[in-house]
Structure 1
Amino acid sequence: MADPVSPAEAEEPVGVGPHPLPWPDEARLDPVLLAEGDRRNVVDRFRYWRVDAIVEELDRHRHPFHVAVENWRHDPNIGSVVRTANAFLAAEVHIVGRRRWNRRGAMVTDRYQHVRHHADLDALGAWATGAGLPVVGVDNLPGARPLEDGGLPAECVLLFGQEGPGLSPAARDLAGDVRSIAQFGSTRSINAAVAAGIAMHAWVREHARP
């Protein structure tokens, strides 16, 4: 009797194998990937492309919203926020606080997503002011306006706090507008990365065309 096959082994390999010869003569393609196959977490149109070629192409179409997240406690959700920002093609992700962040949840998307560090909220505020971008906090706080009401600025910084405490007092002061996400169950809050994904998708629904 054959050995049992695990669910992971039963799944089809992700991506594509080596490219058939002759190879396409395109500068954006990576000879190593053409020879060995491309198993990366990228959409099919970017198969075999060099990383810098993918970034260059994404830069031509990035949306004018930015995402900022506080990182005082090495929040493991930050990687997921970066991955979601890449999926929705945010201009940049801004990490505020600790420079080191947990990249595991990003699943290597930080290679394709611009990430900028700010030592503190004052630095983020100075950058946003210089760039002419309003800061919109996202947290279920008293007086926050419902995200579902729309009206997000086309160019802005969406600011998120950490899992548990949410936006810090300094972040609340920095945000000129704070939006809440409607909840209907018993839990006090939703996961920080999930909240970021909902807010980014709200921006996309309002301002981006598929």
Structure 2
Amino acid sequence: MHPLSDNPARPAGASPDRPGERELIDEADDPTAPSVGVGPHPRPWPDDPRLDPALLEHGDRRNVIDAYRYWRLDAIVADLDTRRNPLHVAIQNWEHDFNIGSIVRTANAFNATAVHILGRRRWNRRGAMVTDRYLHVHHHPDVPSFLAALAQQGVTPIGVDNLPGSVPLESAELPQRCCLVFGSEGPGLTDEVVRGCAGLVSITQYGSTRSLNAGAAAAIAMYHWALTWGRPGV
């Protein structure tokens, strides 16, 4: 997967490694992609203030569950807020890591209370596939401000990295109100973040590679938390 590029010489979706082929891109950018969602709602329309007249008129092609078809964005967020899981997710953003979008998308799937971006305010949103619109995303310019925000909410920071002293995830007892903290791809968690975490967990591996992709590691860790603390969905 390649980082985003503003190079005008390469057409949208074109692969720099395989000329003539296309990268996987957002369906909204590709008119040949299969249609998803539902078409216009038959009249008479339901009398429901949560519904968006424009979506009822033209159809709803968003990647949302059926229960939210035709709903306004703010109505979906308000409903999600009534049943958020007490899980927070944090990502260090020092290198404009493309994994951040993937982690945000997974946090949406587990209906996390919040996502925290540490470091740079701007982050690579492509992998999120607009799921950040349904989440509460907070920016923290530095580690102390991030840790202070968690402490104020009674949330325990748990670092996820294969560092000395980490506990295997499968045997770890994660707190219900915790924040899973992930480092940038490559460098991993910084020493400052490690010092601020109440504990460290690692994912047991069985192959030759030293570490998992950060996006994959985040999905595994969130699922492990949900096995114990996750609330039923819609």
Same fold (TM over 0.5): yes
SS in 1 for 2:112: coil
Separation (CA, whole Å) in 2 of partners of 1:179 and 1:107: 28
Partners of 1:84 and 1:137 lie apart in 2 by 17
Q: Contact (CA 8 Å) 2:88, 2:116: kept in 1 or not?
A: yes
2:183 pairs with 161, 164, 176, which one?
Answer: 161
* 3-state SS, counterpart of residue 198 of structure 1: helix
Counterpart Cα distance in 1 of 2:215 and 2:123? 14
Instruction: Establish whether residue 21 from structure 1 lines up as the match of residue 43 from structure 2.
Output: yes
- Equivalent residues of 1:38, 1:48 under 8 A apart: yes
Query: In structure 1, which of residues 189, 192, 195 is the aligned counterpart of residue 214 of structure 2?
Result: 192
Identity of matched residues, %: 59
CA contact 1:97–1:119 (8 Å) conserved in 2: yes
CA drift of 1:10 comes to 7.9
Q: 1:10 to 1:75 in 2, by over 3 A?
A: closer
Write the deviation string for residues 129-155 of structure 1: whole angstroms up to 9, x where unpaired.
111211100001111001101310000
CA contact (8 A) 1:82 1:93 kept: yes
CA drift of 1:96 comes to 0.3
Partner of 1:104: 126
In structure 1, the residue matched to 2:226 is: 204
Q: How far is 1:12 from its partner?
A: 4.4
Runs of 5+ unmatched residues, structure 1: 1-7
Structure 2 runs not aligned, ≥5 long: 1-29
Native 8 Å contact 2:172 2:201 kept in 1 = no
Query: Is the 8 Å Cα contact of residues 117 and 138 (structure 2) preserved in structure 1?
Result: yes
Cα distance per residue 1:170-205 (max 9 Å; x no partner): 111111100000100000101001111111110100
Q: Which residue of 2 aligns with 1:139?
A: 161
TM-score, length-scaled by structure 2: 0.84
Distance 1:23 1:66 in 2: 38
CA distance in 2, matches of 1:200, 1:208: 9
Q: Supply the RMSD in Å over aligned alpha carbons.
A: 1.3
CA distance in 1 between counterparts of 2:104 and 2:59 reads: 26
Deviations 1:59-117 (A, max 9, x none): 00001110011001111111111110000010000000000001111001011011000
- Any idea what the Cα deviations from partners look like across 1:23-62, whole Å, max 9, x if unmatched? 1110000000000000001111100000000000000000
Q: Take 1:62 and 1:96, find their aligned partners in 2: how far apart are those partners?
A: 22
Q: In the alignment, what sits opposite 1:119? A: 141
In the alignment of these two chains, the number of paired residues is 203
Shift in CA distance, 11/106, structure 1 to aligned 2, threshold 3 Å: closer
Residues in 1 aligned to 2:201 and 2:43: alpha-carbon distance in whole angstroms: 54
Equivalent in 102, 105, 121 of residue 80 of structure 1 = 102
* Distance in 2 of aligned mates of 1:50 and 1:88: 21
1:209 deviates by: 4.3
